[in-house]
Amino acid sequence: MRMIDLSFPIRPHFRWKVAPELVAAHATGHPLQSTVLTISCHAYTHVDAPLHYLVDGRDMASMPVDQWVGDAAVVDLTHLGANGEVTAADLERRAGHVRSGDIVLLRTDWPRRMGVDKEQFWKEGPWTGPSACEWLVTVASRPSATTTLQTIASATRSPSRDGVRAARSTRRTRFSFRPGSR
């Protein structure tokens, strides 16, 4: 199985505090070295539980682990530029290979054009519009992931789902999303 890491590195950022604290060190006589990292749970690469958006949504502990690993279909949306909306029409044209149950990766290449540490990345990046969210819920019927993190903030409600997240990249592969890894 081919694994693709979509995470961003954790490093100083204009909007999130990262506070590592060395609590035990070999240099001070401890047999083990240990660091405590204080960071917002809603920063960098992460998974939002439906409860984040929906009053009656599930929390992360209620989400099955196998929801985050499986077949993935990459949809090439690299034609989108700053403030480009991913629409159902885009997905109809470019996502014919997506099968029910696939994890859908929406490839915008925004992180290649703009650094994640820049305010412009967050304010002007491509985003998933309501029609695309509905398309993803209806066709893919499985949450998706994104490396265009602004897209994660796009969610919608459907009677059959707690919500939807969309994502990016271009060929069928196995996909494992490891939140906050790197």
The per-residue b/e assignment along 132-170, b for 16 or more CB within 10 angstroms, e otherwise, is: bbbbbbebbebbbbbbbbbbbbbbbbeeebbbbbbbbbe
Which is more confident, 164 or 18? 18
Q: Give first-to-last CA distance, the chain, whole Å.
A: 19
Residue 141: band (very low, low, confident or very high) from pLDDT cuts 50, 70, 90: low
Distance CA 128, CA 166 (A): 7
Domain assignment present for 32: no
Number of compact structural domains in the chain:
1
| Cβ atoms of residues 165 and 48 within 8 Å | yes
- Domain limits for position 134: 50-176
| Tokens of residue 27, six digits | 């240099």
Domain assignment present for 17: no
Residue 73, C-beta contacts closer than 8 angstroms, at least 6 positions apart? 95, 97, 98, 99, 102, 103, 104, 105, 140, 172
Residue 30 has pLDDT above 80, yes or no: yes
> pLDDT per residue over 74-84, tens digit each?
899 999 999 99
Residue 24 has pLDDT above 70, yes or no: yes
Domain assignment present for 16: no
- Averaged over 111-129, what is the pLDDT? 88
- Averaged over 102-116, what is the pLDDT? 87
Mean pLDDT of the chain, nearest integer:
75
Residue 162 has pLDDT above 50, yes or no: no
Domain assignment present for 140: yes
Domain assignment present for 24: no
| Tokens of residue 24, six digits | 């035990």
Domain assignment present for 66: yes
CA distances 19 to 22, 59, 141, Å, are 10, 26, 38
Domain assignment present for 168: yes
Residue 22 has pLDDT above 60, yes or no: yes
Distance CA 146, CA 108 (A): 9
Domain assignment present for 43: no
Q: Identify the three-state secondary structure at position 53.
A: coil
